[in-house]
Amino acid sequence: MKRSPPRLLIWITVALMAASAVTIVVAKGYAAPRVSISYAEHPTIGNPKARVHLVVFEEPKCTNCARFTEELFPEIKKRFIDTNKATYTVIPVSFLSGSMPAATALLCAYNADPLYPNGDLFFAYLDYLYKHQPSESEDWATVDRLIAMAKETSPALNPNQLRKCIDTQLYRIRIQKNTELGEKIMQGALATPTLFVDGVMVEPLTLQRVNELIGGRL
């Protein structure tokens, strides 16, 4: 006659199996490392009371960023930002040759009135810049070119004020700090665009993965 295992052993076995199942579920959802990213001073759109916060690091001369803005961001905006489920923050960085004037110009637009930072104006300028972005290898981010792009973006961008802001490199240090932050978070391998959902990096950067991560937070 085969001896039955003690009842305590049975419960221990069941508990271990349940724990393993939980581990698998978490691994598919939120087992990815989570980082803390302060977004207080960065351009943000969306309902500030939204349950989910998205943060993306972007480089103004990055062609992949332009593709992300054209192909993926509109869906993210429609599904999550416009429906008040998520807020969305861009942290501009600069590591490509000649991109610093463009990165600082973006923050000049955002802080055109320092007392009332304008996220909508920042995003309009960023969108225009990406849609009319020349090749990465071209040294296109000159002050004159950036001013011309600003004029096409919105009459709210004062060309003389923007020129002075870019020339004086008012936000250069902030861009450098943004870049250092990205390098630290990504352990020295800063890449753009890189999107985070409540501090969890979206890998791979696809709409399906964004849906999975945000769905796990709602």
The CATH number of the domain where 172 resides is what? Answer: 3.40.30.10
Please give the mean pLDDT across all residues of the chain: 87
Domain membership of residue 10 (yes or no) is no
> Quick one: pLDDT at residue 31?
55
> Quick one: pLDDT at residue 39?
83
> Quick one: pLDDT at residue 217?
84
Contact present, 167 and 143 (Cβ < 8 Å): yes
Domain membership of residue 13 (yes or no) is no
Separation between Cα atoms, residue 10 and residue 21, nearest integer Å: 17
> Quick one: pLDDT at residue 213?
96
DSSP E strand boundaries for the chain:
44-45, 52-58, 86-92, 194-197, 200-201
Indicate the SS3 state at residue 88.
strand
Domain membership of residue 12 (yes or no) is no
> Quick one: pLDDT at residue 29?
45
> Quick one: pLDDT at residue 198?
96
> Quick one: pLDDT at residue 118?
95
Domain membership of residue 5 (yes or no) is no
- Phi/psi-derived region of residue 188, left when phi > 0, alpha when psi is between -120 and 50, beta in every other case: left
Measure the CA angle with vertex 127, ends 36 and 60; round to 5°.
65
How many beta carbons lie within 10 A of that of residue 16, not counting itself? 10
How many distinct structural domains can be found in the chain?
A: 1
Give residue 89's domain range.
44-215
Domain membership of residue 150 (yes or no) is yes
Task: Please name every residue paired with 197 in a beta bridge, in sequence order, or none if there are none.
Answer: 54, 200
> Quick one: pLDDT at residue 38?
87
Domain membership of residue 156 (yes or no) is yes
The stretches in the chain having pLDDT less than 50 are: 1-30
The whole model's pTM is what? 0.84
> Quick one: pLDDT at residue 18?
35
